[in-house]
Amino acid sequence: MADEELRGQVRAGNGEAFGRLFERHAQAVFAYCLRRTGTWAVAEDLVSVVFMETWRKRTSVVVEGSLLPWLYSVALGVTRNHQRSRTRYKAALGKVPPHHADDDHADDVARRVDAEARTRAVIAELEKLPAGDREVLEMSAWSDLSQAQIAELLGIPVGTVKSRLARAQRTVRGALVEEAL
């Protein structure tokens, strides 16, 4: 069943149809949130927030085609909010040791820690970019959205997406050269 058909049922309040949309898109939203936050547990929580927000707006927002672009736009918003609150409490959070999933199997812990380390290294590099450039680059690299779709969900012209993307890619390529040296 296509997203549009399921969304029709969701608009009518069908929780089971919403569950199927969750099953279909949760992994993509999780990967995006993990890449944006660098923390496994936070990303997992934010997936729930993204879908709760999507449910809340099920009757007021009309989306054509796949639901994924809309989910990415909500994910961008909730990760932005998360980062803002994290910045606000950064001094206190800095004193907290990194979370390790000690209730899990060793293999899973290693897998998560490794993924977090990789995403945090990327985040550290991307934080050097202006926020607007960074969001365009992330959306372009981590989703299958076209430049027109990115422009629409960020509320900017396609030309701006192109120029921001080109600038961000130049900067990141610079980092790659420095790394190679």
Partner 1 sequence: MNISPDLPQLDPMRLQVRKDALVNEISTKPFRRWWRFAVPATALVAAVVTTLVLWTPTNPNAYASWTAEPRAPGADTEAAIADCREMLGEHHTTMPNAPATPTEVSVVDQRGSMTLVLFTGPEAQMECLHTPDGHGLAGSGTAKGFEPLGDELFRSFGASLHSQRDGSKPVRILSGMVSPKVGKVLIGTKDGLKVTATIGKGWILAWWPSREDATLVTLYDHAGNVLGTEPLPSR
Among 4, 5, 19, 100, binds partner 1 (CB under 8 A): 19
In contact, 165 and 137? CB cutoff 8 Å:
yes
Q: Which pairs with CB-CB distance under 8 Å and at least 24 residues apart come from 121-130?
A: 122/35, 122/38, 123/35, 123/36, 123/37, 123/38, 125/172, 125/175, 126/172, 128/171, 128/175, 129/168, 129/171, 129/172
Q: Using the rule CB under 8 A, is 37 a contact of partner 1?
A: no
Among 2, 4, 5, 44, binds partner 1 (CB under 8 A): 44
In 3D space, the residue among 166, 156, 143 whose CA is nearest the CA of residue 76 turns out to be: 143
Q: Using the rule CB under 8 A, is 63 a contact of partner 1?
A: no
Give the angle subtended at the CA of 80 by the CAs of 176 and 117, to the nearest 5°: 45
In contact, 35 and 46? CB cutoff 8 Å:
no
DSSP H helices in 38-146: 40-56, 68-88, 90-93, 106-126, 131-142
Q: Which is nearer to partner 1, 19 or 130 (CB)?
A: 19
Task: Identify residues 95-114 at the interface with partner 1 (CB under 8 A).
Answer: 103-105, 108, 111-112
Q: Which is nearer to partner 1, 88 or 101 (CB)?
A: 101
Q: Which is nearer to partner 1, 25 or 82 (CB)?
A: 25
Q: Per-residue x/- mask for partner 1, residues 138 to 157, rule CB under 8 A?
A: x--xx---------------
Q: Residues near 41 by Cβ (< 8 Å), separated by ≥ 6?
A: 99, 101
CB of 91 to partner 1, least distance (A): 25
Q: Using the rule CB under 8 A, is 51 a contact of partner 1?
A: yes
Tell me the angle at which helices 131-142 and 15-37 cross, rounded to the nearest 10 degrees: 120
CB of 94 to partner 1, least distance (A): 22
CB of 92 to partner 1, least distance (A): 21
* Interface residue list for partner 1 (CB under 8 A): 13, 15-16, 18-20, 22-23, 26-27, 30-31, 34-35, 41, 44, 47-48, 51-52, 55, 103-105, 108, 111-112, 115, 118-119, 121-122, 125-126, 137-138, 141-142, 172, 175-176, 179
